[in-house]
Chains A and B, each alone.
Chain A
Amino acid sequence: MAELSLQHIDKIYDNKVQAVFDFNLDVKDGELIVLVGPSGCGKSTTLRMVAGLEDISNGHLLLDGKEITQTPAKDRDMAMVFQSYALYGHMTIYENMAFSLTLRKENPNVIHKKVLAAAEILGLTSQLNKKPAQLSGGQRQRVAMGRAIVRNPKVFLFDEPLSNLDAKLRGATRREILLLHKRLQATMLYVTHDQTEALTLADRIVCMSMGHVQQVGTPLELYDSPNNVFVASFIGLPPMNFYDVKVVGDQLQGNGFKVTLTPEDKMTLAGYEGKEITLGVRPENFIEGEGIKVSVTNNENLGMNTLVYGTGEGGVKVTAKLKGWKNFKVGDTVSFDIVRKHFFDKETTNAIRGDK
């Protein structure tokens, strides 16, 4: 059992730069939490604070209800997997995996059992006599994970473990991490800037920006009900389209286009009559229809889908993800209808939800 609790955690460096602001999170036993955000948002700093590699300026860190804010890294019973693998080049894979346990002077026979078990889980049994330089990037990352597994820690920490891998390997290793999590049922904290990793791996995602937590929720919650414009723009690929519009009766009036509101939309926007808001539309929520008319500027076929980029009257830009293989030419005129809309307050950038 390993429940982790981060309470009002701040990180302020000696030069007074604050990297993390009032971070609060309760991680349940066996949960895989992904911290996601752009570079410099404080996600790695948060992970390093949990690991004990950075001091916590303010706040409390609890593991299974026990305060570990000031506990040295070696006594926290956490194992970290780094982007750069951090393997010892002169040691074999077996020795690399056994190293931390050897340092702790564990019984060699026990170490052997643990290393073989971890190697079996990760499919590394046949590689144990090799040196890291003889392995591929994906295999090296598995060794790094194996080194964490043998310690049987309470919490696994992953700091962008897949960033050094090519796209194909990244996908494969991602699936391995997911299987590993299912098999070990361990509590894991995973940092990435790749939203695909976040969406596919996480039980819950913590989306961060500029040191602040923007939203904590399941992948579907973040995708379907983003808290604000930042989360809406960060989650989803290609990113959401945003338009400044005015609520006029049962219509949204934008620069060069009009969108009719459904009765549900009208209920959501009650109180915003005559006001300007931000309309968000995911590329996959556009379908060919009669609404917004644009001139095609680019057409990218992805196989199952086609990305259509266009510019409409008043300079309105549209990125649409249409099903199937389309062959629009530059300059063709296409009209789109919107099947799902997201509304954001223009001043606060927060999502407008009917119940609030």
Chain B
Amino acid sequence: MSKVKTPEDKYIQRDRMRYIKNSACSNLCYLGLLFDVFYFVLIYRQDVGTYYYTIQIGASIIYNLVFMLAVFLASEAVKNYKKNYSIVLLVAGAMQIVRMFVIPAAAHSAETLVAGEEVMVMTDGTFTKAIVYLAVSAAALLFSAVLNYIRCSALEAHVKSLENSKA
């Protein structure tokens, strides 16, 4: 049974943020990164002939690199309660949702020739996996963004109240 938090407990919890890193948000970023990696490994290892050899896959590779760099930097920033990086994470999370409607949606309904035979580019199982990976990645990043925003706001208010009480 969880204990009822007293006002003092809440105060200490806020005060702890001055010294404890925002590991929860940072770890959520890493989770988002990890599931993005699962996603692109799933897509890139598919043996579907030349189906993916288009400008779209080139853009996808570049986007993945930029995404990983941005999310990694954001993870380090939110660890230190940088409020603005919530926006970066919100955008990254939203983009993961958008991506569900780009490659997976297009590949799921497509067929291609492999060794003279018509095959499905993305089976139902692979499609589900890809969507789940992107969804988990998006959820982690969005949750991290919201949590970071709430914590940063609470910390800002707490520090301000401490400064006011000192003055």
Q: Which residues of A contact B (CB under 8 A)?
A: 92, 94-95, 108-109, 112-113, 115-116, 128-129
Contact = CB atoms under 8 A, between A and B. Distances in A.
Contacts of B115: none
B19 A109 contact: no
21 contacts: A92-B19, A94-B19, A94-B20, A95-B19, A95-B20, A108-B16, A109-B9, A109-B12, A109-B13, A109-B16, A112-B12, A112-B15, A112-B16, A112-B19, A113-B12, A115-B19, A116-B15, A128-B18, A128-B19, A129-B18, A129-B19
A112 B15 CA distance: 8
A184 B135 CA distance: 55
Contacts of B13: 109
Contacts, number: 21
Chain A CB count within 10 A is highest, among B12, B19, B20, for B19
Nearest to B10: A109
Contacts of A92: 19
Contacts of A113: 12
Nearest to B3: A107
A36 to B, nearest CB: 38
A108 B15 CA distance: 11
Contacts of B16: 108-109, 112
A112 B18 CA distance: 11
The 7 closest A-B pairs by CB, nearest first: A94-B19, A109-B12, A112-B16, A128-B19, A112-B12, A109-B9, A129-B19
Nearest to B5: A109
A112 B12 CA distance: 7
Contacts of A109: 9, 12-13, 16
Nearest to B6: A109
Contacts of B9: 109
A307 to B, nearest CB: 50
A108 B3 CA distance: 14
Nearest to A115: B19
